[in-house]
Structure formats: C-alpha cells, structure tokens
Structure 1
C-alpha cells in the first residue's frame, strides 16, 4: 500500500486518481484534473507555462497546427494549476487563527495567588 502512495507523487504535485487505475492521460499531468499541484512547485509550473508559450509561438510560425492544438491544451492545464495554487495560498493567508484558550479563561479562575 505504501508503494502506491509513493507512486502518486509527481514533479509538480500529487496524483489523485483511484488506486490501481491506469493513467488515462499518459502522464501528461498538467492536463489532468486529478493532479493536486504542490504550492512549493509554483516556480516549476511557471517555467513550464513560459516554455509552452514559446513552443506555441514556434508551432504557429512553422504551421504545425496539430502541435498547436495539443500545446494549447497543456497551456490551459498549466494556467489552471497555477490558479489552483494561488487559490490555495489565498485561503491559507485568509485563515484566522483562533488561538488556544488558557486554563484561566475556560475555568473562570486565575493561576495567580
């Protein structure tokens, strides 16, 4: 079972597909809705984003229309993953610390003599 969880870790996050099921996306993780991106890998996703942008420009210039279509799907996926990370970071930043009550505040008496 531990090996299964170890295999879920990919370069930019964690794969959330069902146990013992094949990867239907042929490991094109940025395209997959089951990828849970790791906020620590945001810079890596930005590099992938920039690289895809450059490859799309090249493919259009060269007339590789089939390539353009596939690259644009990946590009949309990367933009989605970056948005997911940003959303996660915003929720984390907005979280309110409730603190831990002291014994005196919950018992009605103080610890001072």
Structure 2
C-alpha cells in the first residue's frame, strides 16, 4: 500500500505538470490512472480493515472416540 500511495502522489505532480504544459492527452491518461490507483487504494484499505484470521472452532471427537468396529 505505501508504494501505491507514493505512485498516486507522483501522479498528482505529473498531472499538474501536464496541465501547465497543456498536454491534454496526457492529462486524460493521468486522470484515468489516478482514478484506478485511488480505487485500488480504497480496496486495499477495505481489505486491511477486515479480520485476517478465521475462527474454525475446535473439533469434537467425543462421538467417535469410544466406537468399536465389528470387523474384529
């Protein structure tokens, strides 16, 4: 996530430069890339907020522990 935040910050700088230079095609491309980066960052934040462990419970062997087979 830190790397993507760094990329997004760099895109902000590049967007300003493209606007200053009047590079309209570059402005559109950078805005599209920034939107995708922002969407990915939001998804990463949502994923980080979710619990990372799952409680599976404890297996219950009481019902099978005392069984005998009739094959003996």
TM range (shorter): 0.7 to 0.9
Per the alignment, residue 77 of structure 1 pairs with 36
Q: Which has the larger radius of gyration?
A: 2
1:98 is the counterpart of 2:55: yes
CA RMSD of aligned residues (A): 2.1
Unaligned runs of 5+ in 1: 1-41, 108-113
Deviation per CA, 1:60-86, whole angstroms, max 9, x where unpaired?
A: 111111110000000000001101111
2: distance between equivalents of 1:72 and 1:102?
52
Q: Which has the higher strand share?
A: 1
The total of aligned residue pairs comes to: 63
Q: Which has the higher helix share?
A: 2
- Partner of 2:6: helix, strand, or coil? helix
Match of 2:13 among 54, 57, 75: 54
Q: Whose relative contact order is higher, 1 or 2, with alpha carbons under 8 Å and at least 6 apart?
A: 2
